[in-house]
Structure 1
Amino acid sequence: MPKRCYYEVLGVPRTATEAEITKAYRALAKKYHPDQNPGDDSVLEKYHEVSEAYEVLKDPEKRAIYDRYGHEGLANGGMPPEGSIHIDLSEVFDDLIGGLFGGRRRGGRGGQRRGADIEEVLDLELLEAATGVSRTLTVRYEANCRTCGGTGARPGTQPVVCRRCRGSGTEYISGGFFALPQRCRACAGAGYTIAHPCTDCRGRGRVEARETVTVTIPPGVDTRTRLTLRGHGHEGTPGAPRGDLHLILRVREHKVFERDGHNLICQCPISFARAALGGTVELTTLTGEKVTLQVPRGTQTHTVLRIPGHGMPDLDNPRRRGDLLVVLVVETPTQLTPEQEQLFRRLAELEGNAPPAAPRKGILGKLKDLITGEHPPT
């Protein structure tokens, strides 16, 4: 399982000061300390995770390595990850020709790069999924540092072309007949070094920024529906377009209605008498409409009645809607009035299945009924 971002573990932004990092660590360490949660292995894992994140972010040198190379950089002792090593014969020949005849220098970062995309999960209520809704969100993204213009160098200074790779971002290791390229160890493939880092971004050229966006969610969406907002992802390199913001929707469960595709399902309790004799019941739909349901005579429990057009709208065609499926549940009474009990006994006699009558209570039983508030049947 990949490690979580250390800043995410402590709940602080990448621009957090040492004091903010220490404050966040102390609060989480107290919350997840083993002495406060004896026997809870999951909490112990979180405590170790918080401690590991703090050990890195409190150390300026380790933090600089982590900011630049991530977890792999720490594992490699501050060197860039090795997974990017590749062989490109055209680069080998270009480098050889450039070295011999003073050819052009290539920047190690490959020019402008579009910003990365962002994915966020957005929770909705079932009613919001049925009717559509507008939501205002605060999005955190990486932006080019405005102080240094994204160069990472302190204002008034400039990055210096790397002497080791001469700005190509790649150095070559002899491998027999061919020179094998790898990322330059001196500049980590950037093609330049920064002698005087920007104090705002610590030489990264990037800072965390926030913006408020409004998204209109159409009727009929469901869990895992994906909405894309163009140009609201991370910023690219200076002059390059931003990435996109992808919203992954998650619809919460409703306490009354259950969704089944475009249909909605709910239960409706009815009395024993209404199930036998038939009649009408009034229902309130998901959107608050009142509808009258005709219950046929002799209805059995779990009978399903359909109300057309009161389900979920079709995302591609909101004019089309599913149905509301009503599951009738016949309720057997648990407490009877004396009159009701007499009627049920009479019904049982007519069916030839009358239970024995309850024994008549003596004076002590009647006194007990008076004390407890119970009234014997007449």
Structure 2
Amino acid sequence: MKDDFYDILGISKSASAAEIKKAYRKKAIEFHPDKNPGDSTAEEKFKKAAEAYEVLSDADKKARYDQYGHRAFEGGGGFGGGGMNMDDIFSQFGDIFGGGGGGFSGFGGFGGGGGRRTVKGSNLRIRVKLTLEEIANGVEKKIKVKRKKVAKGTTFKTCETCNGQGQVTKIQNTILGRMQTSATCSTCGGAGQTVDSKPSNADASGMLSTEETVSIKIPAGVVDGMQLKVTGKGNDAPGNGIAGDLLVAIEEIPHEHLQREGDNLHYDMYISFSEAALGTSKEIDTVTGKVRIPIDSGVQSGKILRLRKKGIPSINGYGTGDLLVHVNVWTPKTLNKEQKEFFEKMTDDSHFQPKPEKEDKSFFEKVKDMFS
């Protein structure tokens, strides 16, 4: 089981954005690879801290994590802090450390002081529509994605402008003294390499647009608007860069009969006067197939029948919701002469007089129960 992001950074769920940033910087400094050379445990903690900060520093991701936990980011590999390399971390969070150009102030090795920063390809975004049945059971989708890949036969050489560093450093004389600034190399875009040779059908960066079938594993319980990430299935980066990610937005297709409320489902079932008086059984739709449920004689309109664990599995692993069947006794709008005579005879019959019992809850009590 993955560690809790708040525990990793040593903060509470009520921590402010400034407190989250401060806590991450403290952990990053403590476990920075330059301070702990050859220590794989420290490196792993450094990556976990970056993963926690990547989620908690983003208001939308934080809200989803608070509601669904780690499962909010599962699917096709998820975030996977352990899969990030150091250059990727510094490229995203270099400003936290205060170093120029993504480096770490006071230490060498990564980003600003020593080596070339690895460039990451651009992310791709797609939308996947899911039925309620697919959401309830989980599904694996195979989607055709158009992505740019380095063309076969393309070779790269060290950028002559930045000498492979990916950055250009300038020293300027100012009234405050000599100032050193670093900026991404405009020639290679920070890759440290430029195209040496390429096929005639490739673009200026040595890329080709290709169509690839990507398998996306979608866990049960996802919600409309949730975003999953498939690592490394975005566009390639030039040279020895790493590929971007494929971001998958979930869209829920409305069901013909079922309405979703969190992990619970609602079903409106209509029965006739005679069925309500005599009792019956009805076949209804669920996300796992059709089921037949008995209706007791004398059932009242508005009664709610609860089918346990016939709803949607919690994406956070907290069980499965229920299916709430709302019984509605249908009142006929037109009656023939014989039917009218029957009901006129029954008007004063004691069996047709309303006699609510304690278990027959009022509308407001039912609403209260639903929200509790």
- Compute the displacement of 1:263 (Å): 1.5
Confirm or deny: 8 A CA contact 1:171 1:184 kept in the other structure. Answer: no
1:251 aligned residue: 252
Confirm or deny: 8 A CA contact 1:87 1:181 kept in the other structure. Answer: no
Instruction: Please give the alpha-carbon distance, in whole angstroms, between the structure 1 residues aligned to 2:223 and 2:343.
Output: 48
- Compute the displacement of 1:139 (Å): 1.7
1:181 aligned residue: 181
Instruction: Please give the alpha-carbon distance, in whole angstroms, between the structure 2 residues aligned to 1:298 and 1:314.
Output: 32
| 120-129 vs 165-174, which moves further | 165-174
Confirm or deny: 8 A CA contact 2:115 2:165 kept in the other structure. Answer: no
1:286-310: per-residue Cα shift (whole Å, max 9, x none)? 23222223235151x3221212232
Equivalence map 1:224-263=2 (5 Å): 224-263=225-264
- Compute the displacement of 1:108 (Å): 12
Confirm or deny: 8 A CA contact 2:159 2:188 kept in the other structure. Answer: no
2:339 aligned residue: 340
Runs (5+) with no aligned partner, structure 2: 1-97, 104-111, 353-372
Confirm or deny: 8 A CA contact 1:108 1:168 kept in the other structure. Answer: no
Equivalence map 1:114-263=2 (5 Å): 114-149=120-155, 151=156, 161-162=160-161, 169-176=168-175, 177-181=177-181, 183=183, 187=187, 199-263=200-264
CA 1:198/1:303 → structure 2, altered by over 3 Å: closer, same or farther? same
- Compute the displacement of 1:133 (Å): 2.3
Instruction: Please give the alpha-carbon distance, in whole angstroms, between the structure 2 residues aligned to 1:207 and 1:234.
Output: 10
Confirm or deny: 8 A CA contact 1:169 1:187 kept in the other structure. Answer: no
Alignment pair present for 1:295 and 2:296: yes
The share of aligned pairs that are identical, in percent, is: 24
CA 1:185/1:172 → structure 2, altered by over 3 Å: closer, same or farther? farther
For the residue of structure 1 that corresponds to 2:269, the secondary structure is strand
Q: Residue 308 of structure 1 aligns to which amino acid in structure 2?
A: R
Instruction: Please give the alpha-carbon distance, in whole angstroms, between the structure 2 residues aligned to 1:192 and 1:172.
Output: 23
- Compute the displacement of 1:342 (Å): 1.7
Q: Residue 140 of structure 2 aligns to which amino acid in structure 1?
A: S
Q: Residue 323 of structure 2 aligns to which amino acid in structure 1?
A: L
1:64 aligned residue: none
Q: Which has the larger radius of gyration?
A: 1
CA 1:196/1:342 → structure 2, altered by over 3 Å: closer, same or farther? same
Instruction: Please give the alpha-carbon distance, in whole angstroms, between the structure 2 residues aligned to 1:166 and 1:247.
Output: 33
- Compute the displacement of 1:124 (Å): 0.3
Instruction: Please give the alpha-carbon distance, in whole angstroms, between the structure 2 residues aligned to 1:160 and 1:117.
Output: 24
Equivalence map 1:1-378=2 (5 Å): 88=100, 110-149=116-155, 151=156, 161-162=160-161, 169-176=168-175, 177-181=177-181, 183=183, 187=187, 199-275=200-276, 277-286=277-286, 287-297=288-298, 299=300, 301-315=301-315, 317=317, 320-348=319-347, 350=349
For the residue of structure 2 that corresponds to 1:273, the secondary structure is helix
- Compute the displacement of 1:128 (Å): 1.1
2:37 aligned residue: none
Q: Residue 138 of structure 1 aligns to which amino acid in structure 2?
A: K
TM score, norm. by length of structure 1:
0.52
CA 1:119/1:107 → structure 2, altered by over 3 Å: closer, same or farther? farther
1:374 aligned residue: none
CA 1:115/1:263 → structure 2, altered by over 3 Å: closer, same or farther? same
1:119-173: per-residue Cα shift (whole Å, max 9, x none)? 4321101111112222110122232233533x4xxxxxx6872499999634444
Give the number of aligned pairs.
Answer: 242
Instruction: Please give the alpha-carbon distance, in whole angstroms, between the structure 2 residues aligned to 1:211 and 1:236.
Output: 17
TM score, norm. by length of structure 2:
0.53
Instruction: Please give the alpha-carbon distance, in whole angstroms, between the structure 2 residues aligned to 1:278 and 1:128.
Output: 37
Instruction: Please give the alpha-carbon distance, in whole angstroms, between the structure 2 residues aligned to 1:187 and 1:293.
Output: 74
Confirm or deny: 8 A CA contact 1:115 1:233 kept in the other structure. Answer: yes
Instruction: Please give the alpha-carbon distance, in whole angstroms, between the structure 2 residues aligned to 1:202 and 1:243.
Output: 18
CA RMSD of aligned residues (A): 4.1
Instruction: Please give the alpha-carbon distance, in whole angstroms, between the structure 1 residues aligned to 2:118 and 2:186.
Output: 22
For the residue of structure 1 that corresponds to 2:257, the secondary structure is coil
CA 1:273/1:139 → structure 2, altered by over 3 Å: closer, same or farther? same
Runs (5+) with no aligned partner, structure 1: 1-85, 92-105, 152-157, 354-378
Confirm or deny: 8 A CA contact 2:124 2:247 kept in the other structure. Answer: yes
Confirm or deny: 8 A CA contact 1:108 1:169 kept in the other structure. Answer: no
CA 1:315/1:183 → structure 2, altered by over 3 Å: closer, same or farther? closer
For the residue of structure 2 that corresponds to 1:233, the secondary structure is coil
For the residue of structure 2 that corresponds to 1:289, the secondary structure is strand
- Compute the displacement of 1:265 (Å): 0.4
| 219-228 vs 333-342, which moves further | 219-228
1:61-83: per-residue Cα shift (whole Å, max 9, x none)? xxxxxxxxxxxxxxxxxxxxxxx
CA 1:107/1:160 → structure 2, altered by over 3 Å: closer, same or farther? farther
- Compute the displacement of 1:336 (Å): 1.9
- Compute the displacement of 1:113 (Å): 2.7
CA 1:208/1:173 → structure 2, altered by over 3 Å: closer, same or farther? farther
- Compute the displacement of 1:186 (Å): 7.4
CA 1:240/1:224 → structure 2, altered by over 3 Å: closer, same or farther? same
Instruction: Please give the alpha-carbon distance, in whole angstroms, between the structure 2 residues aligned to 1:171 and 1:162.
Output: 12
